[in-house]
Amino acid sequence: MVLKCCKVFFLIFLILSSCSPKFHFSEISYVQDFILDSYKINKGKKEILSLMKESFCEISKKDFEIQKYKLEEDDVLNISIFHPIRKDLEEKIQKLSDLNFFQIKNGKINIPNFDEIFILGLQIEEVAHLITSKFTDEIKNVKVFVNLKKSKEKTVEIVGLIHGIHKIDEKTTIFDILSKIGLPPNCDLFKSCIIRDNKKLLIDFVKLLKEGDMNENILLRDSDKIFIPGDGESKIFVMGEVSKQSLINMPLGTITLKEAILKAGGFLHSSNTNSIQIIRTAFFNPKIYNINFSDII
């Protein structure tokens, strides 16, 4: 009784042979490798994708850090100044600010009596420092105050089984959005992912939503896409000497060998349970195990 919960994952063929000749492959792994790989699979999506030789983009510490806002085209700034004597200048700047005069166009804003200032991509504090330096070349003792009055709306898009566009801010996490929209029961959490800059981020939705693992709960960024597929994306095929050859869904990405066989109706009397072949498909280089069922129950 070596292991009760040896797991299988995405696109695995379970081939149960009878007394007729079984499939033959040049390289066969046995129960020890199957058990070791099952321990890896229990660690989650990262290990599963590694076994499948699939590429992915890992998350880092930066994905959990709130980013300071960097100014973008068409952002509108509220600018005010303080000077102990030049009240006329204070009023002029304030009136212009009230009229949304300080809007970024071609990466620049226009300050009266100065050349245009390029501020695209700067943070608010950097803009205040830059404008202060412009003023102090002409007028001493000026204090400049800058804040963001209007900015581009930040959104993420939900695609797949459900669709929608949702507003976010710099503190919005995956869990915030998923809690808001509510996931249907027939979604495939294992194959769900976040697409950022045309790359799939390695987020384990099963760990996040089923186990409450906040190490998967990254902050969302503008233009992220959250892909939520329907069940049927992750599956195994059980064939051979079982009651019902079946394509079985695995919305959480894993299933025990025993459960897979039960879903296929169980063994036939003619089944040779001493020789079950499991093919884990990496497509071009599949891994094949030949195991005795009694070794893992």
Q: Could you identify the residue written with the tokens 């303080």?
A: 82
Q: Are 284 and 12 in contact (CB under 8 A)?
A: no
Whole-number pLDDT of residue 23:
47
Do 218 and 287 lie in one domain? The reply is yes
Alpha helices in 160-221 (DSSP H): 174-181, 205-210
The whole-angstrom separation of Cα 38 and Cα 296 is: 11
In whole angstroms, how far apart are CA 263 and each of 16, 58, 120, 249? 14, 34, 59, 10
Q: What is the DSSP letter of 164?
A: E
In a domain, 192, yes or no: yes
Q: Which of 39-53, 159-173, 211-225 has the lowest mean pLDDT?
A: 39-53
In a domain, 6, yes or no: yes
Query: Which of 133, 131, 83, 81 minimizes the C-alpha distance to 110?
Result: 131
Residue 195 has pLDDT above 80, yes or no: yes
Mean pLDDT score, 7-19: 49
Do 134 and 167 lie in one domain? The reply is no
The whole-angstrom separation of Cα 212 and Cα 215 is: 9
CA 64 and chain centroid, separation:
12
Whole-number pLDDT of residue 65:
94
Do 57 and 200 lie in one domain? The reply is yes
Whole-number pLDDT of residue 3:
39
In a domain, 91, yes or no: yes
Pairing status of strand 155-160 against strand 225-228: parallel
Do 285 and 138 lie in one domain? The reply is no
Per-residue pLDDT tens over the stretch 52-86: 777 789 999 999 999 889 999 999 999 999 998 88
Q: Which domain holds residue 20?
A: 1-67+152-297
Mean pLDDT score, 165-184: 94
Percent of the chain with pLDDT over 90: 47
The whole-angstrom separation of Cα 251 and Cα 24 is: 30
Of 127, 144, 161, which residue sits at a domain end? 144
Q: Could you identify the residue written with the tokens 């990496």?
A: 282
Cα dihedral value 21, 25, 28, 30, nearest 10:
-30
Whole-number pLDDT of residue 11:
42
Do 59 and 87 lie in one domain? The reply is no
Whole-number pLDDT of residue 194:
96
Query: Which of 183, 246, 234 minimizes the C-alpha distance to 45?
Result: 234
Sign of the CA dihedral 68, 73, 76, 79?
positive
Do 28 and 167 lie in one domain? The reply is yes
Query: Which of 123, 168, 170 minimizes the C-alpha distance to 147?
Result: 123
Of 99, 121, 144, which residue sits at a domain end? 144
In a domain, 128, yes or no: yes
The enclosing domain of 200 has a CATH number of 3.10.560.10
Do 177 and 127 lie in one domain? The reply is no
Residue 261 has pLDDT above 90, yes or no: no
In a domain, 178, yes or no: yes
Do 122 and 262 lie in one domain? The reply is no
Do 264 and 157 lie in one domain? The reply is yes
Do 159 and 242 lie in one domain? The reply is yes
Q: Are 13 and 281 in contact (CB under 8 A)?
A: yes
Do 54 and 173 lie in one domain? The reply is yes
Q: Could you identify the residue written with the tokens 């669709």?
A: 163
Which pTM value belongs to this model?
A: 0.76
Both tokens assigned to 64: 């959990």
What pLDDT band is residue 14 in, cutting at 50, 70 and 90? low
Give the H/E segment covering residue 32.
Answer: helix 31-41
In a domain, 108, yes or no: yes
Strand order in the sheet with 155-160: 164-167, 155-160, 225-228, 193-196, 199-201
The answer for residues whose C-beta is within 8 angstroms of residue 153's C-beta and 6 or more apart is 167
Whole-number pLDDT of residue 118:
96
In a domain, 75, yes or no: no
Q: What is the DSSP letter of 21?
A: P
In a domain, 72, yes or no: no
Of 98, 119, 144, which residue sits at a domain end? 144
Do 256 and 178 lie in one domain? The reply is yes
Query: Which of 218, 240, 198, 234 minimizes the C-alpha distance to 48?
Result: 234
The whole-angstrom separation of Cα 243 and Cα 261 is: 9
Mean pLDDT score, 189-204: 94
Per-residue pLDDT tens over the stretch 92-128: 999 999 999 999 999 999 988 788 999 999 999 999 9
Mean pLDDT score, 148-156: 93
Q: Are 144 and 102 in contact (CB under 8 A)?
A: no
Q: How many domains does the chain have?
A: 2
